[in-house]
Structure 1
């Protein structure tokens, strides 16, 4: 009987040593993929990223998120005409209140996918379909800025910029109609968040004459674009294409000198 017990213990030991563990890894191009990795396999040199632990979403967590990003939301409103309430509401919804895997691991607070004009880092994430390509940012503020670029550089959102700056309900409904989200309840959820946390109080008066609207940009089928690469500046792009920096800023709704890798810049 003693021998039988000893044999069983040895079998259990060897089985546990060979148990495989599911992890998430980042590939060279930054995409996430699910793999099986042997605990004792030291030859696998892929960088691994632990799946984000489930975090209980509390009222305090949401209020802290709002406090952390309200200034950048108001800055986007001043520079691009997007209501701060919409910026914060979308960020809360799309980032899972700041604790989603996409938000934590890729600094993507708005669920913006790669699309054809993105040449920056990217990650793979299951959304409407399995393994979809999403943009990855070095800093959360880059995500907020790219959100502004995204809305101001696509004609399907141009009608939103004609709304009153306090009309967050019109913006919420318009975003859904323009195809930002597939969830039919998206406007309701967005409006509910804005009203529950009084995000509309961050909507500050803007003079439309001081905001360069996308609707007024010279954009047509003949528009030429340049995708920002590492080391590019507005000045270097202006020299390369013989166009004044101020003209570049006007065409692209840029109000400072910040540009991001992968950003699509109108040059003509």
Structure 2
């Protein structure tokens, strides 16, 4: 009887030890699951505690031209490095500031990532016009499916941009400004009708000063480049609309009219007994867009 009791206690002790061991997979599938679980636990890195990671200065912005493009400052800098030599070559040959060429390229092409730049190598948003005999693409802009010039290479777009400004009579006044006066050129482009956006000059100037594009003008003119100091008073441009002999902006000048809220070209033309087309021609306007405070020649 005692032997049976002892044997029973030994069996119970062995059973208790067996139940405390971890479960062992009895099928291949279960074994694979166990192996993956163990691997995940071993390979999962510990979460960093109080870790400070370096921040980046690669800022992002949206460029709205013929298409809406999201770009980073790194992308813009890469674009500048890619086309600065072409821009400086065009400045030397045609007299257009390299800074203006690059700023327009950034803005009009979305730093090379806009639809027209990708589909047609068109970096300046130049439309076909009547004298264009090359390839073209259709793209929605001021109107649906407008005709834009298409180039085999981006460099052809840069050359055509220079020829476009040099060859069009309405841009003649631009070439009376100093070759490196980017502020005069930025304002002059808008005044001559290159763009209808009233903020176009400010956008160009912003790109030039943010990305130090004026240094490429100085490389051509031989002048010392001084980086823009944001705390210093702005440098006065040699272009002054109030002293430009072509545009007398005296508030008492009977030949000028300041656009008021609610004005249209049609209402202004009626007020001064003019045809809309005559009013547009007097002011080098290519469409009917006007802005409040804008001065128009009416006589």
TM-score category of the 2 structures, normalised to the smaller one: 0.5 to 0.7
- After TM superposition, the structure 1 = structure 2 runs for residues 107-186 of structure 1, keeping only pairs within 5 Å, are 107-186=121-200
When residues 126 and 166 of structure 1 are mapped into structure 2, their CA distance, relative to the original with a 3 A threshold, is same
Structure 2 CA distance for aligned equivalents of residues 134 and 55 of structure 1: 18
- Residues in 1 aligned to 2:218 and 2:203: alpha-carbon distance in whole angstroms: 22
Mapped partners of 2:203, 2:210: distance in 1? 10
- Residues in 2 aligned to 1:111 and 1:62: alpha-carbon distance in whole angstroms: 18
Take 1:183 and 1:150, find their aligned partners in 2: how far apart are those partners?
A: 19
Aligned-partner Cα distance in 2 for 1:114–1:183: 20
Q: Which runs of 5+ in 1 are unaligned?
A: 1-53, 208-268
Corresponding position of 2:28: none
Secondary structure of the corresponding residue to residue 57 of structure 1: strand
SS at match of 1:160: helix
Larger radius of gyration: 2
Q: TM-score, normalised by structure 1?
A: 0.56
Change (3 A) 1:89 1:55: closer
Could you tell me the TM-score, scaled by structure 2's length? 0.50
Q: Is the 8 A contact 2:88 2:220 kept in 1?
A: no
TM-aligned CA deviation for residue 206 of structure 1: 5.9
The 3-state SS of whatever aligns with 1:64 is: helix
Cα deviations across residues 171-198 of structure 1 (Å, max 9, x unaligned)?
0010001110111110011111111111
State the distance in 1 between where 2:143 and 2:70 align.
26
**Structure 2: stretches of 5+ with no match in the other structure:** 1-67, 222-299
Which runs of at least 4 in structure 1 moved beyond 4 Å after TM superposition? none
RMSD of aligned Cα (Å): 1.7
Hey, what does 2:100 align to over in structure 1?
Answer: 86
Q: Which has the higher contact order (CA 8 A, sep 6+)?
A: 1
Q: Distance in 1 between matches of 2:81 and 2:168?
A: 29
Partner of 2:188, secondary structure, is helix
2:82 is paired with a residue whose SS is: helix
